[in-house]
Amino acid sequence: MQVLIIGAAGMVGRKLSERLVRDKALNGKSIDKLVLVDVVAPAQPAGFAGKVESVAADLSAPGKAEAMIAGRPDVIFHLAAVVSGEAEADFDKGYRINLDGTRALLEAVRKAGEGYHPKLAFTSSAAVFGAPFPEAIHDEFHLTPLTSYGTQKAIGELLLADYHRRGFLDGVGLRFPTICVRPGRPNKAASGFFSSIIREPLAGEEAVLPVPENVRHTHASPRSAVGFLVHAAGLTREALGNRINLTMPGVSCTVGEEIAALRRIAGDKVAARIRRESDPTIARIVGGWPQRLEGKRALALGFTAETSFDDIVRAHIEDELAGKIAA
């Protein structure tokens, strides 16, 4: 089996690569080749007996999608995207990467030749939804995004569903909640503070909180994000039916509850490293996102996530900090 990961240099892409190398198989089939693609060449994961090809390429550039599909990968994970804050700040770049790149990939699959029918898992986002919201977003809630990023992801979902319907591929779209706690340095995502107010204090650094503590959102850990993708790759066309875009489960909590979990696990000194500094732009973007995602269909199909924010904090400490908290 050959697996293609587009966006493999990103946090979720790296962790997915590591998981596949560790498992050595996907859907019960041995992985013979991993093709890892991003705008910078992804690092090759250690310990893989099969072939690994690391490629630096922009999916939206002419001819690049066709080159990625030339080897006819059996499973494609499409994780590449310009994140929310950057897509809002740079309109042209957001549409070029998030929409034109996705369309180029789908077209490359369609034109790859008779008999080619890969599994394609597409990472969408809860940003496809827009206010006003009910108390919880159910699986049939309409897509009315209030950001360019959310609009681009919503269009991607519709395209994926149509190419799936026409039989060009077996698609599944995953609407991720905010993935938290993200390791590494902050990116340009508007949601980045959800991670930074946990990650930086645990590492002994100050973090800035740009929104009020009563802001509520839904989260899942990087562990869960990788689990979503691996599980999605094994779902059959029959199990999914016509509604192939799924809202993933997660933990709904306020920023205040997030901080309380940090305090329970790491203590008052660590929690005190959070500095409140209002940012109206971030507050406006985040205020247009849903607060609670139900994800009932996903749960019924076997997707799993954490059930408390304490578990999300502990996962970060175990996976990224070797179990140690900075004094």
* CB 188 within 8 Å of CB 166: no
Q: What is the DSSP letter of 127?
A: G
Q: Is 163 an active-site residue?
A: no
Residue 243's closest CA among 176, 177, 301, 305? Answer: 301
For the chain, the first-to-last Cα distance in angstroms comes to 46
The CA distance from 199 to 79, in Å, is: 23
- Spatial distance between the Cα atoms of 207 and 166, rounded to a whole number of angstroms: 48
Please give the structure tokens belonging to residue 76: 């494609």
Residue 183 CB partners (closer than 8 Å, separation 6+):
11, 199, 222, 316, 319, 320
Q: Which of 95, 116, 149, 163 is catalytic?
A: 149
Neighbours of 146 (CB within 10 A): 16
Catalytic residues: 149
